[in-house]
């Protein structure tokens, strides 16, 4: 049983205003869902010069560094970048750069592969960002990108500026590339059981928001409360769904059909 006042005091006093997937039991499903994208990308980045945009805490960037020729992690948050530089200083083919995006702070045709997982939904200049990716890719280079499927979202995420549907992403990337695939990132029954229970919790919370304020208030007002409620929810789910901590990347997969019922969009585009 969670002591809500004590829990709230702790989380509101020291809670990030960022959205990051931390690897602990309560956040394991989100972490594994994110990590799957990086593991799938390994076949594309092996032996290549790679840019990882929106690298965050860089757990996935470091994983890809085991296979890439050279990889650069790019993130807007200077504190995160400094932490990454210190944490991963012993990986010789990995470096980090801080920058607001777009534009991308690189010359034309700089990279063979660009990865950007769970990032594009956080920015306003999304099409400009995709165009920048195409600019800094070398001819024949690949862009690998994931973003939540808007159809599966039950409530507003205040960290997200815009969530895509598959048709929206198809049209946006189709205006920039003639060669691309859109796949759906989905989970097995164990994963989907977790998300069904998650959905019940979200709907219960939304019953209290009779005026739909979560859709109307400025996002800056909602980020810390959102993280707080999410933390409570995931800790409860950890106890209610016994398999939560055992779920791994092996419980996720990509599919080409029934895309609207997938959790994430997985884009693979060529220059």
SS (H, E, C) 169-235: HHHHHHCCCCEEEEEEEEECHHHHHHHHHHHHHHHHHHCCCCCCHHHCCCHHHHHHHHHHHHHHHHH
Tell me what pLDDT residue 16 has: 40
Instruction: Enumerate the β-bridge partners of residue 71.
Output: 50, 94
Compute the residue count for the chain: 271
CATH of the domain at 174: 3.40.50.150
Tell me what pLDDT residue 12 has: 33
| Contact criterion met (CB below 8 Å) for 103 and 131 | no
Tell me what pLDDT residue 19 has: 59
Task: Collapse the DSSP code of 164 into the 3-class scheme (helix H, G, I; strand E, B; otherwise coil) and give the result.
Answer: strand
Tell me what pLDDT residue 21 has: 64
What's the number of domains the chain is made of? 1
The four Cα atoms 117, 22, 238, 154 give a dihedral, to 10 degrees, of -40
| Contact criterion met (CB below 8 Å) for 121 and 160 | yes
Name residues whose C-beta falls within 8 Å of residue 91's C-beta, 6 or more positions apart in sequence: 62, 65
- CA 135 to chain CA centroid, nearest Å: 23
Tell me what pLDDT residue 237 has: 85
| Contact criterion met (CB below 8 Å) for 175 and 130 | no
Tell me what pLDDT residue 267 has: 98
pTM over 0.75: yes
Which residues constitute the domain of residue 261?
4-270
The four Cα atoms 29, 240, 203, 2 give a dihedral, to 10 degrees, of -100
pLDDT mean for each 10 residues of the chain (271 residues)? 40 44 83 97 98 96 98 96 98 97 97 98 97 98 98 91 97 98 97 93 85 83 81 83 92 98 98 97
């Amino acid at each position: 049983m969670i002591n809500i006042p004590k829990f709230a005091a702790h989380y509101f006093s020291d809670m990030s205003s960022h959205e990051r997937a931390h690897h602990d039991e309560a956040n394991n499903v989100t972490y594994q869902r994110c990590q799957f994208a990086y593991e799938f990308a390994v076949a594309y980045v092996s032996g290549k010069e790679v840019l990882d945009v929106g690298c965050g805490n860089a757990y996935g960037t470091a994983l890809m560094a085991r296979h890439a020729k050279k990889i650069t992690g790019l993130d807007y948050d200077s504190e995160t970048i400094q932490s990454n530089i210190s944490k991963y200083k012993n990986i010789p083919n990995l470096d980090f750069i801080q920058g607001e995006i777009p534009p991308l702070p690189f010359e034309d045709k700089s990279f063979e592969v660009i990865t950007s997982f769970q990032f594009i939904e956080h920015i306003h200049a999304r099409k400009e960002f995709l165009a920048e990716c195409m600019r800094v890719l070398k001819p024949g280079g690949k862009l690998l990108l994931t973003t939540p499927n808007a159809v599966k979202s039950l409530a507003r995420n205040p960290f997200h500026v815009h969530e895509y549907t598959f048709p929206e992403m198809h049209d946006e990337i189709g205006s920039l590339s003639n060669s691309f695939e859109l796949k759906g990132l989905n989970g097995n029954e164990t994963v989907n059981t977790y998300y069904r229970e998650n959905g019940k919790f979200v709907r219960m919370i939304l019953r209290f928001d009779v005026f739909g304020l979560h859709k109307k208030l400025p996002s800056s007002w909602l980020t810390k409360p959102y993280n707080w409620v999410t933390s409570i929810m995931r800790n409860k789910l950890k106890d209610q769904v016994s398999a939560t901590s055992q779920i791994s990347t092996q419980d996720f997969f990509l599919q080409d059909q029934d895309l609207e019922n997938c959790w994430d969009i997985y884009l693979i585009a060529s220059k």
